[in-house]
Amino acid sequence: MIKIGNFARLSQVSVVTLRYYDEMDLLKPVRVDTFTGYRFYSADQLPRLNRILALKDLGFSLEQIKLILADGLTSEQLRGMLTMQRNEVEKRLADEGERLRRIEARLRQIELEDKMPKYDVVIKSTPAMLVASRRVTIPTNDQVPQYLDIAYMEVYSYVHQQGAKDTGPCFTLWHSPSDVYENEDVEAIVPIDRQLQGTDRVQVYELPSTQVAAVVHQGNFEDFTQGHAAILEWIDANGYQIVGPYREIYIKHHKDELSNSTTEVQFTVEKA
């Protein structure tokens, strides 16, 4: 029999780890001194310990390893577990590859501009939400404020008349591409807390969850379209493509304080 300290040195595994494997019923000592509680191991246990370490190196959790080492596991089941583990590793590698490409794109941007970018683009999933919406067509881009003001007034008036509450900042959903400036198809949207009947002018529906590339513009509202340019440049540099309408979320927006506004711009995207 080998004392736990010697067994740890022999196997190059810490005493703490061996004790934990004992608690997990992965590798029990062959004998425990009844007086001192000292653990003793056998050289015959080294192959089992090596298998535990090998499976751990493959990324399996200790619970999974315990299942693999159980007598009832068939080769087909083991093959299935290894296949799942391979798929997880491949996904992690793909995710890290995407992260590396984003780092390279940021480095190129800094090299071109010789400064930190003004906007930071992030990929995230928007939650599904219940909304009230007024969809309008705006003849020319200079009429956007006029048309949207009226649309939002109509939506808010309907929501409050029905006894519902808005649950977040209002936003526009632009169905026309960002480089279209005539006959723009747009929704004035207000998130709400309950289902309403809706009318022929104000629609109520669940806006589905979607993946977006997003930036936050802080400052003069008149300059927030710079965020559009930043996202479009990022999308092109990072191998994404636009696959749906984009949003402008008016987080902090007061007509008498437009110089200190906060607007989030979101483009629906997927990998090209």
For the stretch 177-232, pLDDT in tens is: 888 889 999 999 999 999 999 999 999 999 999 999 999 988 888 888 888 888 99
- Residues 255-261: contacts with CB under 8 Å, at least 24 apart: 258/220, 258/221, 258/222, 259/219, 259/220, 259/221, 260/219, 260/220, 261/217, 261/218, 261/219, 261/220, 261/221, 261/224
pLDDT at 182: 93
Average pLDDT over the chain, rounded to an integer: 89
Say how far residue 113 (Cα) sits from the centre of its chain: 28
Give the whole-angstrom CA distance, residue 128 versus residue 37: 57
pLDDT one-digit tens code per residue, 72-129: 677 788 888 889 889 989 998 988 888 888 788 777 767 766 666 678 889 999 999 9
Cβ-based neighbour number of residue 35 at 10 Å: 5
Spatial distance between the Cα atoms of 270 and 92, rounded to a whole number of angstroms: 18
Predicted confidence at residue 225, as pLDDT, reads: 84
How far apart (Å, rounded) are the C-alpha atoms in residues 80 and 75? Answer: 9
CA distances from 124 to 50, 104, 213, 267 (A): 41, 20, 7, 10
For residues 42 and 30, is the Cβ–Cβ distance under 8 A?
yes
Does the pLDDT value for residue 20 go beyond 70?
yes
Rounded to an integer, the average pLDDT of 41-64 is: 90
At 124 the pLDDT is: 93
Q: What is the pTM of this model?
A: 0.65
Q: Which has more confidence, 120 or 156?
A: 156
Q: How far apart are alpha carbons 165 and 191 in whole angstroms?
A: 8
The per-residue pLDDT for 179 is 86
What pLDDT, in 10s, does the model give residues 226-265?
Answer: 888 889 988 988 889 999 999 999 998 877 777 888 999 9
Within 8 A by CB and 6+ apart from 114, the residues are none
Check pLDDT > 70 for residue 269. yes
Determine the pLDDT at residue 113: 65
In this prediction, residue 53 carries a pLDDT of: 92
The rounded distance, in Å, linking the Cα atoms of 21 and 91 is 29
DSSP one-letter string for 81-118:
HHHHHHHHHHHHHHHHHHHHHHHHHHHHHHHHHSS--S
Residues 6+ apart with CB under 8 A from 98: 238
CA atoms within 13 A on the CB side of 212: 22
pLDDT at residue 114, rounded to an integer? 64
